[in-house]
Chains A and B, each alone.
Chain A
Amino acid sequence: GAGVSQSPSNKVTEKGKDVELRCDPISGHTALYWYRQSLGQGLEFLIYFQGNSAPDKSGLPSDRFSAERTGGSVSTLTIQRTQQEDSAVYLCASSFPAVNTGELFFGEGSRLTVL
């Protein structure tokens, strides 16, 4: 596609439910990132994929968070047993293989609200 696509754009869920957030990167981008943006906070790194592998999972806040990427394209971020503190905007970004430039292309985010 023309840009990074994320779905759903908005998700309201009850505490304890599982949610899945989807990211469709720009075609040809092999690197994919998930960030979380909480109210009043900066962008918190969650996980990074190069192809289908995740060399850096250091940012996942707990074992309730997991992510996968299949076919070197679409990625899914799953949050199990959601808590109110998980409420945030989850941003996905992708980049060209030459990741050393650090330039990321972001989607519009998925806003998660946990009641």
Chain B
Amino acid sequence: AQKVTQAQTEISVVEKEDVTLDCVYETRDTTYYLFWYKQPPSGELVFLIRRNSFDEQNEISGRYSWNFQKSTSSFNFTITASQVVDSAVYFCALYSGNTPLVFGKGTRLSVIA
């Protein structure tokens, strides 16, 4: 069965601090994709990143970076120098082609000025 666990329900940080959002996944498929989505207060989920299971190279995009480790089945997301606009609920998700996108329960990030 596909499963995504985001153990952190809520995180609060002060602006300019770095923060890491954890994501652990379970799947028996060898080919799969991992995602992060951001849900700002407006409610619309916004796609942030997609990684496939064969590419463990970490990725950096501006203040965002992602650490994919198959050995620990984790796909963690780090925001460097957080800003108030980063406040949102962040969802990690898993797709293997056999089932629809499976989401974790999300982590609510609050960045305080």
Contact = CB atoms under 8 A, between A and B. Distances in A.
Interface string B32-43: 010101000011
Given A100-B97, A102-B50, A42 B44 contact: no
Contacts, number: 53
B62 interface: no
A102 B35 contact: yes
Nearest to A102: B95
A47 to B, nearest CB: 9
Interface residues of A, number: 24
A42 B100 contact: no
Interface in A60-115: 89, 91, 93, 100-109
Interface stretch (B63-71, B74-82, B103-111): B103-111
A48 B98 CA distance: 12
Contacts of A59: 100
A3 to B, nearest CB: 8
A38 to B, nearest CB: 10
Contact of B106 (A42, A100, A102): A42
B47 A105 contact: yes
Contacts of A100: 97
B112 interface: no
B45 interface: yes
Interface of A: 3, 33, 35, 40-43, 45, 48, 56, 59, 89, 91, 93, 100-109
Given A33-B101, A103-B35, A104-B47, 10 more contacts: A35-B103, A41-B105, A43-B103, A102-B35, A102-B93, A102-B97, A102-B101, A104-B101, A106-B44, A109-B44
